[in-house]
């Protein structure tokens, strides 16, 4: 995938606008998870070390476009960056009216791009305004690369120079390695509540992987397609035939045993119920009418672990059970450990997957952890990411210089 990389450019003295994904959770003015900030820091430090005049932009939350709101301000992020970079990081609100003065080796944070009208609609005039702020535009926010917005796509099309930052470049390299040049055998793990939400991912991986492990409600649909009872378990009944067809195109190792809870009557707060429900291990053929499958059993975990041990490429998206409840998290825990212990190149992505990695402390032994959710899935689906397409056009010298 041919794009210009930030590492290939001399940034000294240049005004460098870096689009990061700093959309962190903030509660009562405090950042509750700094994972995205930690991921962005190496790029920022590299640009500063080169003597660039650094401007950083990002969105945060979902404010009413064009309207400032304190709860969606990037001020907590500016405070965090000031401490992490050991230099003052001012937050600038009026940067479109008055471009900020930035010295070499200095960094300023631009206020939430979603406070600007036309951001989400990829307005050409806003994209041009962003481009006018810089000599070099760096797209480093893989998590937003699937959105055609002014600060991710539009600016890359009209900037003097548009390149991929180290974080984005690493994402593209890792995903490209897994999807286009996988060492064999390749094992993919795809889990979720419904086949319908991951159908494009499943279809894409069916062409690429050697074994496709399914979990959650997706696994229940495949079990039903194979004729096993699933009781009251979550299932895409209208896609049972689709699951049956997918299983003819790629090996789908189905669970041997599962962990169930008996569901009597209506369930209100599902997670509260799952936290208290007694867990039972059953063979898949023995699932009763009132049972709800909430995890895979130990025999299935052992089978999955054996597949991971012999794999050379692993792509992981989704826990195989309701891991938030400890009684139904042993399957996901065993899977996480098996992936971490494998000698395969492993790449993991998706919010629930990252939460499971954090819970079970295996992050150090996963080859690459993607910062993207929707972008990760769209790449796996084989879709073109708008921001990446703009960078490719810029690298080819085909980017239009205004519209």
State whether 314 and 196 are in the same domain.
Answer: yes
What pLDDT score was predicted for residue 129?
98
List the CATH number of the domain containing 201. 3.40.50.1260
Between helix 330-341 and helix 298-310 the angle, nearest 10°, is: 20
State whether 44 and 188 are in the same domain.
Answer: no
CA angle 76, 126, 13 (to 5 degrees): 70
Residue 56 lies in a domain: yes
Residue 173 lies in a domain: no
State whether 115 and 227 are in the same domain.
Answer: no
CA angle 222, 228, 233 (to 5 degrees): 70
Residue 61 annotated in active site: no
Task: Spot the catalytic one: 13, 176, 351, 361.
Answer: 351
- Number of domains the chain contains: 2
State whether 151 and 196 are in the same domain.
Answer: no
Residue 349 lies in a domain: no
State whether 102 and 133 are in the same domain.
Answer: yes
Residue 285 annotated in active site: no
Residue 221 lies in a domain: yes
- The residue behind tokens 């067809």 is 245
pLDDT of the chain along its 403 residues, tens only? Answer: 699 999 999 999 999 999 999 999 998 889 998 989 999 999 999 999 999 999 999 999 999 999 999 999 999 999 999 999 999 999 999 999 999 999 999 999 999 999 999 999 999 999 999 999 999 999 999 999 999 999 999 999 999 999 999 999 999 999 999 999 899 999 999 998 888 989 999 999 999 999 999 999 999 999 999 999 999 999 999 999 999 999 999 999 999 999 999 988 888 899 999 999 999 999 999 999 999 999 999 999 999 999 999 999 999 999 999 999 999 999 999 999 999 999 999 999 988 999 999 999 999 999 999 988 889 999 999 999 999 999 999 999 844 444 4
Residue 191 phi/psi, 5-degree rounding, is -135, 160
State whether 242 and 312 are in the same domain.
Answer: yes
Residue 198 annotated in active site: no
What pTM, to 2 d.p., does this model score?
A: 0.88
State whether 52 and 12 are in the same domain.
Answer: yes
What pLDDT score was predicted for residue 1?
62
Whether the Cβ atoms of residue 47 and residue 87 lie closer than 8 Å to each other: no
Task: Spot the catalytic one: 51, 118, 374, 382.
Answer: 374
Task: Spot the catalytic one: 194, 282, 337, 359.
Answer: 194
State whether 106 and 30 are in the same domain.
Answer: yes
State whether 35 and 142 are in the same domain.
Answer: yes
State whether 217 and 252 are in the same domain.
Answer: yes
Task: Spot the catalytic one: 14, 15, 36, 53.
Answer: 36
State whether 145 and 281 are in the same domain.
Answer: no
Cis peptide, bond prior to residue 40, ω within 30 of zero: no
Q: Which domain holds residue 102?
A: 6-165+384-395
Residue 194 annotated in active site: yes
């Amino acid at each position: 995938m041919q794009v210009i990389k930030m590492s290939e450019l001399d940034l000294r003295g240049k005004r460098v606008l870096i689009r990061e994904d700093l959309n962190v959770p903030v509660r009562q003015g405090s950042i509750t998870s700094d994972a995205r900030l930690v991921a962005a820091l190496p790029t920022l430090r590299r640009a500063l070390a080169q003597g660039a005049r650094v401007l950083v932009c990002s969105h945060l939350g979902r404010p009413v476009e064009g309207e400032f709101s304190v709860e969606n301000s990037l001020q907590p992020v500016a405070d965090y960056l000031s401490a992490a970079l050991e230099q003052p990081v001012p937050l600038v609100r009026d940067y479109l009216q008055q471009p900020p003065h930035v010295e070499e080796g200095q960094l300023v944070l631009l206020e939430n791009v979603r406070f600007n009208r036309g951001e989400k609609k990829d307005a050409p005039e806003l994209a041009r305004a962003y481009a006018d702020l810089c000599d070099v535009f760096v797209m480093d926010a893989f998590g937003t690369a699937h959105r055609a917005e002014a600060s991710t796509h539009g600016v890359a099309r009209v900037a003097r120079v548009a390149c991929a930052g180290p974080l984005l470049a690493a994402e593209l390299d890792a995903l490209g390695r897994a999807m286009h040049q996988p060492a064999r055998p390749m094992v993919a793990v795809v889990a979720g509540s419904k086949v319908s939400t991951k159908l494009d991912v499943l279809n894409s991986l069916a062409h690429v992987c050697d074994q496709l492990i399914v979990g959650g409600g997706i696994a229940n649909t495949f079990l039903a397609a194979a004729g096993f009872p699933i009781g009251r378990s979550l299932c895409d009944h209208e896609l049972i035939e689709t699951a049956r067809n997918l299983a003819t195109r790629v090996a789908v190792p189905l669970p041997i045993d599962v962990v169930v809870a008996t569901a009597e009557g209506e369930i209100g707060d599902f997670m509260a119920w799952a936290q208290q429900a007694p867990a039972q291990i059953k063979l898949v053929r023995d699932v009763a009418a009132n049972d709800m499958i909430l995890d895979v059993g130990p025999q299935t975990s052992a089978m999955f672990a054996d597949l991971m041990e012999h794999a050379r490429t692993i792509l992981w998206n989704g826990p195989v059970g309701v891991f938030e409840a400890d009684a139904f998290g042993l399957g996901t825990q065993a899977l996480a450990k098996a992936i971490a212990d494998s000698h395969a190149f492993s790449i993991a992505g998706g919010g629930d997957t990252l939460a499971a990695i954090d819970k079970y402390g295996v992050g150090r032994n996963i080859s690459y952890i993607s910062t993207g959710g929707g972008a990760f899935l769209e790449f796996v689906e084989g879709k073109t990411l708008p921001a990446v397409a703009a960078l490719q056009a810029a690298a080819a010298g085909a980017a239009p210089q205004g519209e």
